[in-house]
Structure 1
Amino acid sequence: MNNHIQEPGLHDQSSGKMPDYGMAATRADVLSQVLTLIRLRGELVYSAQLRAPWSIAFPKGAAHFYFVETGTMWVKTLGAEPLAVSQGDMLLLPHGTGHMICDDPITPPAEIGDLIGEHFDRDKSVLDYGDDGTPTRLVGGLFHFEGGSLAAIMAALPLVVHIPSENGKTPDWLHALTHFLVKESHEVEPGSSLMISRLIDLLVIRTLRTWAASQTHPGGWIGALGDERIGRALSAIHAAPYHPWTVKGLASLSAMSRSIFAERFTARVGEAPLHYVKRLKLTLAADMLASGGVRVTQAAERIGYASDAAFSRAFKAQFGYAPSEASQRQDGS
């Protein structure tokens, strides 16, 4: 059985010699590689001083994060049960779906757009809203994952990533990052926008890493981060995505038999090894084409397709549109 990806017109680009990932694979960081590929971009941070009763609805768009400094709140998202959040908890809502934060799920919401003018101090980046009931103070922010073609990879993340506090105690990393985020937003100086963006990057990445490490059976590539052997194979794939990977070669890197590796990879990641490789290559091609600097033929050759027709069929099967439309899709996203 030939274990190379068997797409019509797909061919090897190299001699087929296995790269030396004996040590590099154990050092590679799949989470960083994926987040680099999708270009995480932090946008805004603010403090919120809220007093019950209060409820705020946010529209679909940017991803959000919340760190509850004091008090409690609820988070409601379409497709998920309301989630109670306590002091010291950290939340990510990575998919940019509409959501609501509130003191109680039954409190009628106000749209965030209607509150900005009267309740948001733009100079200090402080949202002050509510009545005279129990107070809640939080740090919130917005960010984007810019690689729209990577929706399938980001699908491994749940609607809400929740990092509970340790009996109300804030981890040192979370306290430090939120402290500097608030400081930069309150004391605007040259370079503050860039600092805020970079700090949000760090906050999101560290939160995802902490969440992934805490999951017993997470799905997708995140699930494999906690599996040393499968993680080694994923690291190698992401470090050299254009290599003509085979199941046998990946199994060897993972120090497993081919059959056991294939079964374990599929169970942990949610798809067969070479399907994952194929999807990653097509995703990289979509990213190249969206940038506008690469022609369809060049993208096809780069990821190993011998003909534009074969590449176009595989591309459209994965994304639902032709490679020639990729740049327009990016512009319209």
Structure 2
Amino acid sequence: MDALSKILESIKLSGVVYRKLEVTAPWGIELPKSRFLQFWKLLEGSCCLQVEENVGIQLARGDLVLIPNGSNHCISDKADSIRIPLKTYINFRDTESPYFLEGDLKTVMLGGHFEFDDQYQHPLITGLPGVIHLKEIRQQNQDWLELTTNQILLEIDQPKPGSDILVSRLSEGLFIHTLRAYLDQSKIKQGFLLALTDKRISAALQNLQDSPEKNWTLEELSKSAGMSRTLFFNTFKSLVGQTPLSYLQNWRMQKAKDLLLTSKDNVSIIANQVGYQSEAAFNRLFKHTFKETPASFRRSKNKQAISIN
């Protein structure tokens, strides 16, 4: 499995698509801050998006906007249009007096969000900018984004058995295509996405992720990347935002957390599976990362699962 796929699997990427937004001008909706990465794609009409107090972004038909840190934002037909809170809009949407349906100029948008394991602050997510605005996308990426969007809309408009899970999976694909298009469109000079496109650093990332139990040394990693130790260390830290061994430690903790939830192995075995011969050392690092011991973490999650069932 390639490095990005393994990361998305580890941080538990899942997508949620909202009900299609159909309004007429003038219109405006305020959205509160969210812990999720939100997205909007303009399908028809006009839209101005303003994130927090920043200058508004005018969207053209086909544009896609990703808000990685879930900042509060507004969407409206024009920057100076009157806006109402999202909760108010939803409460009146299916009544006899819905908002924003009395005008002539229609706007249609597809929106949603991407969820992750927020206990794991992976540099893929934390390294994204406050807003990603995709416009004038290269044809290949445009085709994929349009194909995915159209399939999502088809499943929303004409739901069939399995539509919910299919829409979720398609939205996850939309996230990956968005990252690819962003890399093509933007002249990124550093950051985790650039690390994934650097064959040398990407190879090192894949080694760390595939074999976290191995006692990796800087010399072994630099050799696998075909670089000198100094160049490898500096390049890795510049792009990833962490040293190679810090990244390995964080990855081990995430892997351990997954094993505690999915396996019945005792803590000492799991510690060994992620590269720690000392259970005590593993317990200390796990508690430092997740604020509770491995045993306590497993018990609390098991209790939650039982209460839900």
Tell me the TM-score normalised to structure 1 length. 0.77
1:42 pairs with 2:12? no
In 2, the alpha carbon distance for the partners of 1:80 and 1:247 equals 42
**Counterpart of 2:43 in structure 1: which amino acid?**
E
Shift of 1:61: 4.7
2:37 to 60, 63, 72: 63
1:198 pairs with 2:169? yes
In 2, the alpha carbon distance for the partners of 1:97 and 1:294 equals 40
Secondary structure of 1:149's counterpart equals coil
In 2, the alpha carbon distance for the partners of 1:307 and 1:280 equals 18
1:51 to 9, 24, 29: 24
Shift of 1:178: 0.9
1:109 to 78, 83, 86: 83
Which residue does 1:150 correspond to in 2?
Answer: 120
Which residue does 2:67 correspond to in 1?
Answer: 93
Shift of 1:229: 1.4
Which residue does 2:92 correspond to in 1?
Answer: 118
**Counterpart of 2:121 in structure 1: which amino acid?**
A
Shift of 1:196: 0.9
Deviations 1:230-281 (A, max 9, x none): 1221122222232222111111111111111111111111121111111111
On the 8 A contact 2:212/2:275 being kept in 1, the answer is no
1:267 to 229, 238, 241: 238
Secondary structure of 1:151's counterpart equals coil
Which residue does 1:232 correspond to in 2?
Answer: 203
**Counterpart of 1:37 in structure 2: which amino acid?**
S
Secondary structure of 1:46's counterpart equals coil
In 1, the alpha carbon distance for the partners of 2:259 and 2:59 equals 40
Percent identical pairs in the alignment equals 29
Secondary structure of 2:8's counterpart equals helix
In 2, the alpha carbon distance for the partners of 1:211 and 1:323 equals 38
Which residue does 1:29 correspond to in 2?
Answer: 2
**Counterpart of 2:177 in structure 1: which amino acid?**
R
1:277 pairs with 2:251? no
Shift of 1:70: 2.7
In 2, the alpha carbon distance for the partners of 1:236 and 1:54 equals 51
Deviations 1:202-229 (A, max 9, x none): 1112112222344433654323012221
In 2, the alpha carbon distance for the partners of 1:167 and 1:237 equals 32
In 2, the alpha carbon distance for the partners of 1:286 and 1:227 equals 29
On the 8 A contact 1:67/1:91 being kept in 2, the answer is yes
- Quote the RMSD (CA, aligned, Å): 3.1
Which residue does 1:11 correspond to in 2?
Answer: none
Structure 2 stretches lacking a partner, 5+ long = none
**Counterpart of 1:76 in structure 2: which amino acid?**
Q
Deviations 1:177-198 (A, max 9, x none): 1111111101111111121111
On the 8 A contact 1:88/1:169 being kept in 2, the answer is no
**Counterpart of 1:240 in structure 2: which amino acid?**
S
**Counterpart of 1:225 in structure 2: which amino acid?**
L
On the 8 A contact 2:137/2:181 being kept in 1, the answer is no
In 2, the alpha carbon distance for the partners of 1:136 and 1:170 equals 24
Structure 1 stretches lacking a partner, 5+ long = 1-27, 122-126
Shift of 1:323: 3.1
Tell me the TM-score normalised to structure 2 length. 0.83
Which residue does 1:216 correspond to in 2?
Answer: 187
